[in-house]
């Protein structure tokens, strides 16, 4: 197998688990029964107990070219030897310009100015700040309000949870949230959309709610609308046909910036470089992270339209810092080296369009919807190389059945993800058809075994 060839096999001893506070994890449950990944190659992980695990989620929607790509490993090692770190403020280093240039080449429309961050959450904060800076530079400083969407996920910064709409991520933290935010309704309706293949026919009209919010708050107060073109972390909600076009039209009509959060949908996941191209709707700002460098080193990238960059940068006096924002690790040399290597792999292997070009999305759709008659299945949603399989919740125990299905799949050798009672899938874009079958078969077995 891939892992054995790479010389990575056998069980490993577990370290002491006490000190680490694990993110988004049931710490006590985990520490009582740890699930540890110790190596990875291609489509597979190796678990601490020496088993091979097929990666059904590309790590966390991010390892799009598969694990352990030699060119990326080499590029990081070379860069670490050459120059470990360089300050990003008032100084530059060549690889960050090279990486930005490669990203600009695959950008939708004229979103060809690239700002580097270290994560999706930071990309979201950065995008919100760019929106404020843009309006202020144009003399419209009253535009300070953001419109997010119910069931949206935009990371865990205070900006991101404020515009986001996942209740558990917000309820404890209200004290630090942005005060000036409203939300569009989410786009999911089981009644009208269950078992849709790809984009649902029903729901474009939900974008009209933006008109209502504009009437309520007045356009002169609204800076930007931020949505995931396809919502991932909330359980894979595919945008209804025509919905994003409507949002675009309303934003343009009122001078409101449209931000697409493409942290999941970017870099080939839907069969085009970005969802913007897939849906033929061009935002003004686009947040990305994860697969930008195949997740080998933390990195986020915000894509910005030329005119926005021009307004902010040309609007400031010469010699002055134009945008008071940035991170110690913006454009970190190792992350940049990984980005250049990953983007070169994507381009050389045609990975950003493979899913559509090779009909993998159609095969995936068939395989996933083939689970319709499996036990507990309430709905199946899919687009590109993404699927959400929603299960009927157990009374008084929401999320429990999906959690147990996730555990069972892991035991059976496939890593899936769960959110609420939805199993979410998004394998690396190098997946073979036989491996798609393996994911579907494993899910069926797991669903048959859970109560
Ligand atoms: N935005 C979206 C749409 C995401 O799916 C995620 C993470 O899954 C984020 C933002 C946050 O990214 P990060 O965890 O890198 O901060």
Q: Which atom of ligand 1 is nearest to the CA of 120?
A: 12
Measured CA to CA, the distance from residue 115 to residue 300 in angstroms comes to 8
According to CATH, where is 3.40.640.10 located in the chain? 73-348
Which residue's CA lies nearest to atom 12 of ligand 1? 120
Q: Which atom of ligand 1 is nearest to the CA of 157?
A: 16
Identify whether the C-beta of residue 243 lies closer than 8 Å to the C-beta of residue 203.
yes
Beta strand extents in 299-391 (DSSP E only): 300-304, 377-383, 386-391
Q: Using the mean position of ligand 1's atoms as its centre, give its distance from the Cα of residue 5 in Å.
A: 33
What local confidence, expressed as pLDDT, does residue 431 receive?
98
Residue with token string 């190389």: 385
CATH fold of 2-65+352-449 reads 3.90.1150
Which residue's CA lies nearest to atom 13 of ligand 1? 120
Q: Which atom of ligand 1 is nearest to the CA of 231?
A: 3
Measured CA to CA, the distance from residue 72 to residue 307 in angstroms comes to 33
pLDDT digits (tens, 9 = 90+) for 160-206: 999 999 999 999 999 999 999 999 999 999 999 999 999 999 999 99
pTM for the structure as a whole: 0.97
Is the ipTM value over 0.95, yes or no?
yes
Q: Convert 127-139 to b/e letters by CB count within 10 Å (16 or more is b).
A: bbbbbbbbbbbee
Q: Using the mean position of ligand 1's atoms as its centre, give its distance from the Cα of residue 230 in Å.
A: 13
Torsions phi, psi of 77, nearest 5? -65, -45
Residue in 290, 386, 417, 422 to alter for ligand 1 test, most ligand atoms within 8 A of Cβ: 290
What local confidence, expressed as pLDDT, does residue 10 receive?
72
Length of the chain: 451
Ligand 1 surroundings by CB, under 6 angstroms: 119-121, 124, 153-155, 228, 232-233, 261, 263-264, 289
Q: Which atom of ligand 1 is nearest to the CA of 228?
A: 3
Closest listed residue to residue 262, CA positions, set 286, 296, 242: 286
| Domain 73-348: top CATH class | alpha beta
What local confidence, expressed as pLDDT, does residue 4 receive?
61
* Torsion sign over Cα 296, 299, 304, 309: negative
Q: Mean pLDDT by 10-residue block, N- to C-terminus, for the chain (451 residues)? A: 63 91 96 96 96 98 98 98 98 98 98 98 98 98 98 98 96 95 98 98 98 98 98 97 98 98 98 98 98 98 98 94 98 98 98 98 98 98 98 94 97 97 98 98 98 93
Residue in 120, 259, 303 to alter for ligand 1 test, most ligand atoms within 8 A of Cβ: 120
Identify whether the C-beta of residue 101 lies closer than 8 Å to the C-beta of residue 303.
no
According to CATH, where is 3.90.1150.10 located in the chain? 2-65+352-449
């Amino acid at each position: 197998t891939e892992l054995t060839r790479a010389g990575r096999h056998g069980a490993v001893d577990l370290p002491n688990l006490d000190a680490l506070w694990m993110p988004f994890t049931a710490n006590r449950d985990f520490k009582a029964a740890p699930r540890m990944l110790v190596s990875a190659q291609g489509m597979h992980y190796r678990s601490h107990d020496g088993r091979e695990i097929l990666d059904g989620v590309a790590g966390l929607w991010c390892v799009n070219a598969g694990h352990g790509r030699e060119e990326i490993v080499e590029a990081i090692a070379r860069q670490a030897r050459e120059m470990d770190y360089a300050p990003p403020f008032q100084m530059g280093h060549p690889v960050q310009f090279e990486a930005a240039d490669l990203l600009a080449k695959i950008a939708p429309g004229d979103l060809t100015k690239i700002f580097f961050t270290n994560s999706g959450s930071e990309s979201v904060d950065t995008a919100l700040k760019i929106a404020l800076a843009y309006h202020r530079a144009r003399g419209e400083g009253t535009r300070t309000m953001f419109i997010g969407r119910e069931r949206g996920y935009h990371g865990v910064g205070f900006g991101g949870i404020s515009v986001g709409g996942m209740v558990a991520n917000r309820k404890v933290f209200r004290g630090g949230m942005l005060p000036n935010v409203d939300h569009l309704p989410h786009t999911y309706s089981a009644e009208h959309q269950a078992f849709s293949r790809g984009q649902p026919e029903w729901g474009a009209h939900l974008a009209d709610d933006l008109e209502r919010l504009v009437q309520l708050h007045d356009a002169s107060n609204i800076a930007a609308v931020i949505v995931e073109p396809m919502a991932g972390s909330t359980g894979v909600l595919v945008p209804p046909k025509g919905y994003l076009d409507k949002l675009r039209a309303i934003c343009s009509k009122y001078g409101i910036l449209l931000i697409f959060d493409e942290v999941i949908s970017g870099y080939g996941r839907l069969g085009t470089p970005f969802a913007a191209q897939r849906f033929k709707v061009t935002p003004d700002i686009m947040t990305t992270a994860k697969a930008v460098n195949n997740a080998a080193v933390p990195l986020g990238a915000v894509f910005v339209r030329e005119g926005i960059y021009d307004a902010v940068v040309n609007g400031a006096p010469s010699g002055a810092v134009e945008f008071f924002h940035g991170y110690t690790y913006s454009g970190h040399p190792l992350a940049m080296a990984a980005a250049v290597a990953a983007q070169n792999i994507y381009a050389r292997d045609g990975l950003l369009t493979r899913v559509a070009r090779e009909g993998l999305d159609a095969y995936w759709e068939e395989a996933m919807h083939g689970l319709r008659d499996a036990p507990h299945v309430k709905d199946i949603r899919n687009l590109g190389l993404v699927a959400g399989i929603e299960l009927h919740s157990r009374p008084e125990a929401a999320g429990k059945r999906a959690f147990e299905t996730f555990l069972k799949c892991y035991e059976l050798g496939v890593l899936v993800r769960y959110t609420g009672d939805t199993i979410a899938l998004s394998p690396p874009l190098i997946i073979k058809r036989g491996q798609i079958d393996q994911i579907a078969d494993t899910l069926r077995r797991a669903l048959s075994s859970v109560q």
